[in-house]
């Protein structure tokens, strides 16, 4: 993972957090960023929608 470049959006970006959510269907991991919480996410592997509210946070993020 690279260090963010300093840019006009940096103040927002530095507060960005991400976590890995596992697909409830197939267990495929997907990294989701905090600014994407209100977007739809689907598993890249099986195409099922991922419901974040049922995801467990991965503390390593």
Taking the C-alpha atoms of residue 43 and residue 23, their distance in angstroms, rounded to an integer, is 6
Of these, 28, 41, 52, 55, which contacts Zn ion (CB under 5 A)?
28
| Interface segment toward Zn ion; rule CB under 5 A; list 8-16, 22-30, 31-39, 51-59 | 22-30
Assigned token pair, 43: 């598993």
Q: Which of 61, 31, 11 is nearest to 50 (CA)?
A: 31
- 32-61 residues in contact with Zn ion (CB under 5 A) are 43, 45-46
Contact residues for Zn ion, defined by CB under 5 A:
23, 25-26, 28, 43, 45-46
């Amino acid at each position: 993972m690279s260090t963010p470049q300093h840019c006009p959006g940096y103040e927002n970006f530095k507060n960005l957090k991400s976590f890995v959510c596992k697909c409830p269907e197939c267990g495929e991991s997907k990294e989701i960023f905090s600014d994407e919480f209100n977007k739809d996410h689907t598993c890249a592997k099986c195409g099922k929608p991922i419901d974040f509210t049922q995801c467990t946070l991965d503390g390593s993020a």
